[in-house]
Structure formats: C-alpha cells, structure tokens
Chain A
C-alpha cells in the first residue's frame, strides 16, 4: 500500500497510522475509517479520491480536528490533530460553503480575518489579506454582494477565500471544485498549484471526480473507509497498466474485491 518513500518521514504534513474513526451518536456507531495509514508530503498537492460516502470528508474533518471519536495516530504539521496551535495554521473548506449569507463577500472575509489576526494594530495587514484572498478566487467584482445572492460556485469560492486568509501551511479542501464550470475549475487548480509552489503550502484536496486526479502531485485512493493506494498519478497508471487514473482505480477496486472474498472462504 505504501510503496513510496512516504514511510515514517517526520517531514510529512500529515502522518496517520492505525487511524480509525467511528461516526454516529446511536448505540452502534459505524466505522467510517478503518485502521488506515498514510502520509501527506509537505509542499505538494495530494488528491484524496474515492466515491461518495467512502469516508473522505470524515478523514478531512479528523485532520482538521473537528471530528469526534478518532483513534490511532494522526499527526498534523508535527502536532496531534486538533491541537490548539494548529487552528491558525490550517485552512479548511467544508463541502457545503460555510459563509454568512447575510453578509457581503468582503464582510465575511473581514470577520474571519479578524478572528485569525485580531486587534486594531493588524487592521492594515488584515485589509491586505482580505484583498488578496478576494483576488485569488476572482471575486473582486462581487466583493460588495451579499453571499446569499451569489451563485453556488461563487459562494464556494467565498468559502475558499476564507481558507486562504492568514497564509495557512496546510489547506484542507473538501470537494472545492464540485459544481463549477470547466474554466473556473481550471483556474482554481492553477491557483492551488500557485499556492503550493510560491507559498510552500501543503494542499490536501478531496474529489470524487477521477479526472481531477491528473492535476495532483500525489494521490490517496480511498474506498469504503480504507486507503486503496498512495502513489503519484504516473506511478499508479504504470503499476495498474491503465491509461487513466480512473481505470487504475477500478482495477484496484476489483483486486480489493477479490481479496476479502478469498479471506472469507478461508
């Protein structure tokens, strides 16, 4: 599973070992993430890919530190996930845009910027950060519009802009390009590459659309709460003798299906 040099390298932005997450408040919580191990290398774009409901969002929530009932080892930027020091070092975009609909784009960003970098002394720095974040997501012309009046794609870009405030070392993006048109999707991927290259940030981005895999440096393929593979897109295609990542993913799924069947008959 972990065939690259990923191993126990302390330089990894995220290091997980024996990670299990149970969800549900009832008497029988479901195991959503089942004893997985992986590393997210620093300064690169890692794509977390898998079908809907495979546990991607839960894993991202665990990394950000908002998920309860997490067991095993999960270190983020050298600290256990959820450590208070991490709160200003991680930018997190939830799947549904989490912004205030009854505030304008700029007012939303102003508020979150004030939480990250409070105080009157930081006012100028904050204004710059807000301007840059609005420019980054290409919403300058809509800065004065109420978030609730924006289109779905624009609202998710406001949500992304909030995560870009405060130059986070790790960006955790949960399906940020869902529902966006192709041009915008390309622009956002260019932005992600730009952020990784010029700001040295680590980006962990989830998607259930396999063609986005080709745009990532590294891939974590996930299915039913387990990591199927961790590899670069090229290495994955070569290893599975496939033309695309999607094909490779399907091959791995078929292999994984065959294995437990053998185990069960034993």
Chain B
C-alpha cells in the first residue's frame, strides 16, 4: 500500500465524476427527493415516517454506492485501464482504497444532504445524535462500494452489472426489517436476515432513532457493518488479477 498512489487514485475517480455532472446530481438529489416523497406518503402517520425514514438514510448510500462502484469498476475492467494499472507498480489495495475513499467522500455529501433535510426540514424525529446517523450512513456507503466492487468481477457487461442490484440488494432490503420487524419473520428468514449486513445497518439506525446515547447494540451493529465492508473489500481485491486468461 502506498498513500500517495491511493490518494492519486481517489482524486482520479472524483475527477472522472466531475466530468459527469448529471451523475453527481442524481446521486445527491434522488435520496433527498425520495425522503420528501416518503414524508408526504406518510403524512398522516409521522411515527412510520420516523422509522422508515431513518432506515432509508442508511439504505440510500448503500444502494447508490453499490451501483456506481459496480459500473465504474466494470468499466475499468472492460476499457483495459485495469490491465494497464496492474501492469504498473500499483497495489491492488491502493486501487480499492482509492475507490473507497472517493465514493466515501461522495457518500458523506449525500448523507449530509439527506440527513440534514430529513431532520430539519421534514421533521424526522430522532432521539440520538445526527452524527451517529451520519456514521452509519458512511459505513453503509463503504459496504455498498465493497459489494459493488466484488460483484463487478462476475459481470461481463454493464447490462449484467445492473442486474446484480436486485439480486444482491433486494433480498437484503426485504429482510432488513424495513417492511416487517425481523423478529416477526419466519424463523428461517430471521436466521438469514441475521447473516445479512444490511440488517445491522438498519438496526443501527433504529438504535439512534430511539436512544439518546450510543448503546452497546449500536456499537455492535456499526462494528458488524464495518467488518463486513472490510471483508467484502478484501474479497474484491482478490478478484483483481494481474494475470488474466
């Protein structure tokens, strides 16, 4: 690992993004618009908006970063730039950390906007600190980046990469406790949901929603999400081969 090469890679990814203002707008505005929409969908039951809204603050960065990273790394593979980079003195860790840093930075901006809007404009009622919401959002973004990087190795085209979104994200979305409390699910599904990282992301958000200070459960949830992100990032690194058939 080399800090200068990692930083150069992160700067390059952000520079690429800067040439694509429409993508930036979509990444930043879609969560804001969806939260606003949700607020008025649950106009009559603000309690429901509180719980679903808080969960979504964690889910948006995960989905966005998953999509963006899987397409970006796939492009890197198909355009030959990955082969060129790996024929150069660039560590795989540098490349992956560069991507994680760049998209992490975008996720921070995205989460700041979404969290700020939810708390102070839409009246999302959170008992805990907004900073903890932001922390979970950032960890979720990292997890999304990690998952995107990993699945891009199994996609031969952008068409396939996009299909991985429902395949990888939707089951987690259904089982994470957003639609029904995890404890009320069929025991088999509850077991599966215990094994999926998004469940802990949503649990973490719920902890912040209902507790004034950082609970032990929150710490456990945050650690699990972070550990999953690191694990999947390492798996993603293993899919980058210097020598290809």
Contacts and interface: CB of A to CB of B under 8 A. Distances in A.
Interface stretch (B48-56, B83-91, B139-147, B164-172): B83-91
Contacts of A112: 84, 88
B86 A66 contact: yes
Please indicate which of the listed interface residues A92, A101, A115 has the most CB atoms of chain B within 10 Å of its own CB.
Answer: A115
A99 interface: yes
A245 interface: no
B184 interface: no
B19 interface: yes
Contact of A115 (B15, B89, B244): B89
Interface string A53-70: 000000000001111111
B8 A111 contact: yes
Contacts of A101: 79
Interface string A134-167: 0000000000001000000000000000100000
Contacts of B20: 102
B155 to A, nearest CB: 15
B129 to A, nearest CB: 36
Contacts of B84: 92, 94, 98, 112, 162
Contacts of B11: 111
Given A24-B245, A25-B245, A96-B80, A87 B87 contact: yes
Given A115-B5, A118-B5, A82 B243 contact: yes
A98 B80 contact: yes
A24 to B, nearest CB: 7
A103 B19 contact: yes
Contact of A107 (B15, B81, B85, B244): B15
A100 B5 contact: no
A257 interface: no
A29 B4 CA distance: 40
A25 B244 CA distance: 10
B244 A68 contact: yes
Interface residues of B, number: 27
B81 A103 contact: no
B241 interface: yes
A67 B244 contact: yes
A242 interface: no
A27 interface: no
Given A65-B242, A66-B244, A67-B244, A87 B88 contact: yes
B212 interface: no
Interface in B176-202: none
A124 to B, nearest CB: 15
Interface in B201-234: none
A94 B88 contact: no
Contacts of B245: 23-25, 29, 68-69
B47 interface: no
Given A23-B245, A100-B79, A90 B87 contact: yes
Contacts of B79: 96, 98-101
Contacts of A69: 245
Given A87-B87, A98-B83, A103-B19, A65 B12 contact: no
Interface in B148-181: none
Given A87-B89, A92-B84, 6 more contacts: A65-B242, A67-B243, A88-B88, A92-B87, A102-B19, A103-B16
24 contacts: A65-B242, A66-B242, A66-B244, A68-B241, A70-B243, A82-B243, A87-B88, A88-B88, A94-B84, A96-B80, A98-B80, A100-B79, A100-B81, A101-B79, A107-B12, A111-B15, A112-B88, A114-B8, A115-B8, A115-B9, A116-B88, A116-B89, A118-B5, A162-B84
Interface of B: 2, 4-5, 8-9, 11-12, 15-16, 19-20, 79-81, 83-90, 241-245
